[in-house]
Structure 1
């Protein structure tokens, strides 16, 4: 037994050590946080499950052995827990100034419970069957991971609660995430279920309960829990949305569900704009579309995040003919999301989108048909980006998941401009064929690299008033992969904003300052300075702001910084200095 234990410890260490060392060199996972906890949680589940099957096969020969199975494996469990924790703490301290408390909380709630879950399932399988135990365990592992896809496919939601992953907020653009009461309650319910499952496994071993009966109890419990998840707020179906939002209006092509906080006149305008954009989209794509689209409009990003996830990102589900919008900004994204659904008529895969779920093609066609980015056409924006040094390879953009490696506006603009070029030059009919069968040579008799050359020659002839400052405003941001402590900073900033809005300026100032120290985010600095202004600390705010402004000169926030600094100079009666910044903003614009 000692030999088996030593081999298991060595195998576990050889898996966990290299993986966690490698993670130290990749963004997001190089600190102790949500992403690293998910990865280690998956490893924990698999390793302890294999260990449970191996241990029960070789060492459990009596009821006493079975009752002491955790005691026999305490060293194994402790070493497994400590390897990622120690390396995660070390990496967080070495590579960032992120607070450890949030990372440890994610580790405790997401990663550690998987030890119980994986071990219990391994033991339960060992009691039920004598052959194919490892294959059965791996099959159950993938089945558990598949359940969120079922919810995502058939329900409006894009978030999910899952046994192995814990929780996923919806999109990578949603940085605001923390361990909240709902996630804690979900994990507590799971812990209770698996403690009961341990008890059932023991009863099977002692032959006081039949295997068939125990299996029926477990399967029935899992099925019942799956169907009551919407009532517990762990998933969202259309029925829950209708009860939560309450507003409903029908048009020729839409069924619109909207928040009860939106008044009747606003809802009428909402409905008219839906139909107006719909007509534009079907004309531009040259397609008939008779099915009704379900449009769901939330009061704000907080209501949307609570009910379906993806609080900040408006989204569409073409296969369900559903679009999801935030009311304050719906007119900026409505046409874009309608394109996604209408394009589903010639889309492929079960999701009715571009072949291979290609994100550049999916977003490119929506950007091309929308053709409006803050008042600019996609070609004008692409030319502005290109001339200002924000250049990317179109061939690379349309390959794999490289779409997400750039700042979002850059990928969206170039994808949209290139797709519009193809549509205008070669016709929308070929573009629709390409959407469901991404083979550029087949439809254009030219490979993608040749089409990219043509596109860049075309782009050179686009006339746009060149302003490098405007380009910096639109394209100078960072992806989530390049931000410091992105999830913790987003959540803590949100809490600080609530303090500010509640008039608790001293607390807000301290909270914003704390976030800014480790994240360096503009949102935190802006909140800090506005809190100081409310507290009439004009001189200290000016000094601090002046010392920090150079850190943002290459970012889209440069202009906000200069405007706020000008305001601070006015408050300190330094009119000439204020005039300098105000004049500078006028010139840059």
Structure 2
């Protein structure tokens, strides 16, 4: 009995109340449950965010309750420290459980995972404890303490939501959540510098608040408080300086900051276009403006709406330099964003004809018939129907690819990899699928509805997802109609295999270490581009240690080894992987790289055999074009072709090698094609024209002739030679190759739009 009393007394001294023990158990139980939830089942960003919210809330409530229970109301720093350490102990069990779960589920990057835990749940618990400490100290433990203690972090939540809704960024920071990462499609995620800076400010704030309250207590007791007051003042001043420069660290970036960082602006009839203020972008500004206005006219014809006229304000278009600058300024390195309710979009623009401009602008065009404050398609007035939101944008965009969305949908159904369309139409089902499948299927379904029943009926259904009211049929009946339409499409085996290659990809929830793998891949690609193959090899070997079957990792590793001069080792690596089960297109992709390495090793005949075998199966157009060009010259054992096509020199050296090759082979249309293509990529239209004219119709291979015609037609367009461009696109629109046929039709529409616009001026 005496022993039990002693234990009880010790527990009481540690403030381990029954409520605290329940909270401790709740954290442990939550970790057990999360061990079976993808993404949350390892020590990483998602689990850190979850326990940041849970731990922060529990720490807030426990601190208020126990400060009142044990009369810790004077603000003594020592009492705060004891409560903070006790609250932090709640995170030990979840961290241990999820770490042990690493024996069952791969946890690829412990350093990053533990860093997220240190920056999110650990700091969240400290922030919750501090919020409660301020409340109980200033209010002397009155019941209002709970309102203030929880009100402060709730106000911070409201501030984050308001910022996300009213400003460009799709990422943000919050006391307990730590860091909101924005789009789930941006899989690569390292510890953000902004999160480190955010938590550094929080640590300064915690020290300042605790020191100030302790100094206040000392003064009230007429005791000296010099060092605590000095500490409070010093940390407050440092915090104030850091807070004033928080946007430079990526915290709470607003529209004005982004506009200033970009620097350039163009105003057109329907747009305010903000773009990087560099010489290259100033040169492209007229084309950027024209592309925006053409897409506006194109979508106005598709939707039959004019959002600028209806809203009385122009669309703000933010165009970023590259993925990294976009990620730093507003989040989403790989995700283009339209904030419909703000009448603005955030994109990357790779040049005239970039379809992502169309996709994001299409979202703006749905505003007049959207519903709710966000002007989106809502499900029962609560959830956002992302299937319809993205489906209508894809249907309007209708990208030119190897397969149309209808053909791709047919292939996915045949291959049994198509998700249930009914689930995609739900409020959450869309996000759980791989983006390629979800966007394509919904785009096909929406385009079928619009082509069959007209855009006006779709507008009626869109706002609230009311298919029965708009079409007089339940959604299941409409899905059945679409399935009947899709299943009537005939495909060949090559098309099915291309579809398998493109669409048979797992979603983020089904990938091993999805965040870490994507980040390592990004870092490896960056290292290779910057001429650091050794760094790329190190990263790629980590990837393969975690997931040995990844084809892309084997191929990137082989390229990096080749960069290091270890060509034979790279060949052996690929030969070993050829023994694995691969789809026909994957095997062709692997053998194509193998051919490059053989050619680089001086075995041109063997390389030609590899390229020839690759072309025996249907492959994506870009790969087919590359293979045809390599096969053309590997068979001839052309030395200069190898130095350009396989060694792939960049910059001036690449053009130098091409021009030397052209001097030796002045009548070779393939050389003219390569020079013209390089000049076309550099937007040197005048210089590209004569080379592409020499290549046009002379390549002898359908895909290469189609590419030469497409490039030459675009060059004529940019040089103001509308009739020549129209003639080329008219001919190309009859191509049996789906991608080039669709591209030609779109460029024909653009040529005629420009002509009509010029006539109406």
Structure 2 length-normalised TM: 0.71
1:487/1:371 CA distance change after superposition, 3 Å:
same
Tell me which residue corresponds to 1:259.
276
The structure, 1 or 2, with the larger RCO (C-alpha pairs under 8 Å, 6+ apart) is 1
1:280/1:327 CA distance change after superposition, 3 Å:
closer
How do 1:53-68 residues align onto structure 2 when only pairs under 5 Å count?
53-60=64-71, 63=74, 66-68=76-78
- Most deviating of 448-457 and 572-581: 572-581
Q: Deviations over 1:318-358 (max 9, x none)?
A: 11111111133771211111110111121112211111321
The DSSP-based 3-state class of the residue aligned with 2:318 is strand
Whole-angstrom distance in 1 between the partners of 2:580 and 2:109: 22
1:287/1:368 CA distance change after superposition, 3 Å:
same
Q: Deviations over 1:515-572 (max 9, x none)?
A: 3322455444333211111122122212222333566725975543232123234445
Q: Cα RMSD between the aligned structures?
A: 3.0
Tell me which residue corresponds to 2:58.
47
Whole-angstrom distance in 2 between the partners of 1:453 and 1:26: 33
In structure 2, which of residues 143, 147, 158 is the aligned counterpart of residue 131 of structure 1? 143
Give the superposition deviation at 1:451: 1.4
Tell me which residue corresponds to 1:143.
155
* Residue 377, structure 1, aligned to residue 404, structure 2: yes
Tell me which residue corresponds to 2:541.
513
1:208/1:417 CA distance change after superposition, 3 Å:
farther
1:225/1:360 CA distance change after superposition, 3 Å:
farther
- Most deviating of 466-475 and 513-522: 513-522
- Most deviating of 510-519 and 99-108: 510-519
Q: Check the 8 A contact 1:157/1:307 in 2, yes or no.
A: yes
The DSSP-based 3-state class of the residue aligned with 1:158 is coil
Q: Check the 8 A contact 2:53/2:177 in 1, yes or no.
A: yes
Whole-angstrom distance in 2 between the partners of 1:424 and 1:288: 20
- Most deviating of 393-402 and 479-488: 479-488
* Residue 357, structure 1, aligned to residue 384, structure 2: yes
Give the superposition deviation at 1:375: 5.8
Tell me which residue corresponds to 1:92.
102
| Equivalent residues, number | 581
Tell me which residue corresponds to 2:197.
185
Tell me which residue corresponds to 1:174.
186
Give the superposition deviation at 1:174: 1.1
Whole-angstrom distance in 1 between the partners of 2:36 and 2:395: 37
Whole-angstrom distance in 2 between the partners of 1:49 and 1:567: 61
1:578/1:248 CA distance change after superposition, 3 Å:
same
- Most deviating of 251-260 and 71-80: 71-80
Tell me which residue corresponds to 1:530.
559
Q: Check the 8 A contact 2:595/2:611 in 1, yes or no.
A: yes
Q: Check the 8 A contact 2:204/2:239 in 1, yes or no.
A: no
Whole-angstrom distance in 2 between the partners of 1:550 and 1:340: 46
Tell me which residue corresponds to 1:301.
323
Whole-angstrom distance in 1 between the partners of 2:580 and 2:510: 15
Whole-angstrom distance in 2 between the partners of 1:123 and 1:270: 54
Tell me which residue corresponds to 2:686.
none
Give the superposition deviation at 1:229: 4.4
Q: Check the 8 A contact 2:127/2:206 in 1, yes or no.
A: yes
Give the superposition deviation at 1:452: 1.1
Q: Which runs of 5+ in 1 are unaligned?
A: 210-216
Tell me which residue corresponds to 1:321.
343
Tell me which residue corresponds to 1:392.
419
Structure 1 length-normalised TM: 0.90
The DSSP-based 3-state class of the residue aligned with 2:342 is coil
1:420/1:235 CA distance change after superposition, 3 Å:
same
Tell me which residue corresponds to 2:522.
494
- Most deviating of 375-384 and 346-355: 375-384
Q: Check the 8 A contact 1:127/1:205 in 2, yes or no.
A: no
Tell me which residue corresponds to 1:562.
591
Give the superposition deviation at 1:273: 1.4
Give the superposition deviation at 1:152: 1.1
The DSSP-based 3-state class of the residue aligned with 2:506 is coil
